[in-house]
Amino acid sequence: MCLREKPSLLASHPFGMVEGGATMTVKKLKMAPERPRLPEWFRTRLPTGEQARKFNQTKATVDENMLNTVCQEARCPNIHECWAAKDATFMVAGQECTRGCRFCAVGTIKTPPPL
């Protein structure tokens, strides 16, 4: 009785395994170019000290009264600056706006319910 040698599992592997070692093609990933950083004058700073206290006070008032502000709905990057000065823009008709500006993150509704 003659036994034939079975082909090695490694020899038939799709990654190109060869006797005594393995060969594999490594594909380099194309990375998107890194975005340039914003200039220092363009960045806003988080409020500290007295400004932080005023910001937190304004935020607490808005949250307690369940008010909708353009600042929050539009995800405004300057919210800290305005709220630290105790300024806020309220949406009297709720969370949706009827304008639908392309640059804004506020939800849009074509026909709002009556006030």
Between 60 and 100, residue with greater pLDDT: 60
- pLDDT tens-digit series, residues 16-75: 555 565 666 667 777 777 888 878 887 777 788 998 999 999 999 999 998 888 888 888
For residue 99, give its domain range: 48-115
Q: Give the CA distances from residue 105 to residues 21, 96, 97, 100, in Å, rounded to whole numbers and listed in that order.
A: 55, 10, 10, 9
Q: Is residue 53 part of a domain?
A: yes
Measured in whole angstroms, how far is the alpha carbon of residue 87 from the centre of its chain? 26
Q: Given CA atoms 74, 80, 81, 87 in this order, what sign does their dihedral have?
A: positive
Q: Is residue 29 part of a domain?
A: no
Q: Is residue 16 part of a domain?
A: no
Per-residue pLDDT, 61 = 92
Give the chain's domain count: 1
Q: Is residue 102 part of a domain?
A: yes
Q: Is residue 25 part of a domain?
A: no
Q: Is residue 3 part of a domain?
A: no
Per the CB < 8 A criterion, the answer to whether 74 and 67 are in contact is no
Tell me which amino acid residue 72 is.
Q
